[in-house]
Amino acid sequence: MGLTFPFNALTANTPPPNLESYSQSSQSMISILGIPYDADSSFLKGTVHGPPVIRNAFRSPSSNTSAENEVEINGHSQIQDEGDLDLGSGQNAREQIESAVRNLVMQDNKVLSLGGDHSITYPILRGYASKHGKINVLQLDAHPDLYDNLNGNRYSHACPFARAFEDGLIGNLLQVGIRTMNTHQRQQAEKFGVDIISAQDFATTVVELAGPVYVSLDLDVLDPAFAPGISHYEPGGLSVRDILSVIHELDVPVIGADIVELNPTRDIQAMTAMVAAKVMKELLAKML
């Protein structure tokens, strides 16, 4: 089965993605932005420690810093590390994240964010909208993250894509690897017109996209056997090679990305940190 993205016709009053805003993307700088934030995690804290741990794994002498296409990532002239945001909490933190991302994209930079929990993607997408308008999003995740609220929190890491749709930030959302769908989130997915390739269907479905895309990679899309350093174990997930293949086979511009939900307090011998660094290298190579 093949799927073409975007699947849903835009309605008459929905502005199309601002294609002109991508015209210089091949020369753009890529900013790596650490977003240490876990205040809206619902089950366990710890993802606040993610960004420096991913950087350490990237620099680990146990591996090298080349992507699989042999592009050297370390010291690349188009990649700069902006360091970590110094965040408050709640609405203040969301405004800080949105503002930082907006400042970078308005300089024509692409942003690869290191989380932090998945709640950060909502303010990141708000920052992107300042320049790009509605954008298409590829979400790799065990969870749909479409709750209207979780335990009364509308900004939970279980809700970012509901908030993003309500603010008109997303053109089309394709979710890959989902394996926790429930009745409420199914209703939300139908309301927002979300396209889903479940973990069950992944092996028999080709991930095809059209148009520039933002990639939001929740590490729990992976089977916990590959990535135990996360908060929510959901067995039956994808392999590291599955995810790398999705990234490698993207034949559309990647205008931004985030890698979220690394929880170093749950990791074993930094093996999930090494996975995060690996997918960071491959995403950066794809974004160049």
Residues lying near Mn ion in the complex (CB under 5 A) are found at 118, 141-143, 145, 218, 220
What are the φ and ψ backbone dihedral angles of 149, each rounded to 5 degrees? -155, 155
d(CA 273, CA 259): 11
The distance of closest approach from Cβ of residue 99 to Mn ion in the complex, given in angstroms and rounded to an integer, is: 23
Q: Which C-beta is closer to Mn ion: that of 142 or that of 227?
A: 142
**DSSP at 132:** H
Kind plus residue range of the DSSP H or E element containing 99 = helix 90-106
The distance of closest approach from Cβ of residue 273 to Mn ion in the complex, given in angstroms and rounded to an integer, is: 17
Q: Which C-beta is closer to Mn ion: that of 115 or that of 288?
A: 115
Q: Where are the alpha helices (DSSP H) in 6-89?
A: 50-59
Q: Which C-beta is closer to Mn ion: that of 219 or that of 250?
A: 219
The distance of closest approach from Cβ of residue 120 to Mn ion in the complex, given in angstroms and rounded to an integer, is: 10
d(CA 104, CA 175): 26
The distance of closest approach from Cβ of residue 288 to Mn ion in the complex, given in angstroms and rounded to an integer, is: 26
Q: Which C-beta is closer to Mn ion: that of 146 or that of 288?
A: 146
The distance of closest approach from Cβ of residue 54 to Mn ion in the complex, given in angstroms and rounded to an integer, is: 17
What tokens appear for 284 in the block? 């950066």
Q: Which C-beta is closer to Mn ion: that of 261 or that of 288?
A: 261
d(CA 262, CA 219): 7
d(CA 152, CA 248): 38
What tokens appear for 61 in the block? 């002498």
What tokens appear for 48 in the block? 């606040």
